[in-house]
Amino acid sequence: MIQREFSMQTGPGYEISLRTPVKVAGAMEKKVSIGALKGLKMALNAAGVEDWQVGDKVVIECTGSTKTTKGNDRVDFAIALDRPE
């Protein structure tokens, strides 16, 4: 679930609480943050959503990467979102 939004140099970042903890750099984490990734923004737009909101329940899956002409590959995502009314 999206817990909060915060500002980054590249755009908004989000703190996400996880249903099941995951191992990150050797530690089990219950919360993670994710920033302004172009592939994530494109997945949100494809789902008909401009941005996440606090309280959104999300499922995020990294589906791969796509070469770009800007020097860094774009990370691609599939998302499902449940937004409370």
Averaged confidence pLDDT in the chain: 88
What pLDDT score was predicted for residue 20?
Answer: 92
Is 15's pLDDT higher than 90?
yes
The number of angstroms, rounded, from the C-alpha of 47 to the middle of its chain's C-alpha atoms is 13
pTM, to two decimals: 0.75
With 0-12 / 13-18 / 19 or more C-beta atoms within 10 angstroms meaning exposed / middle / buried, residue 55 is exposed
Percent of the chain whose predicted confidence (pLDDT) is above 90: 39
User: Whole-angstrom Cα distance, residue 77 to residue 85?
Assistant: 25
- Domain ranges in the chain? 2-82
- pLDDT digit string, tens, across residues 48-84: 888 888 999 988 888 999 998 888 888 888 888 898 8
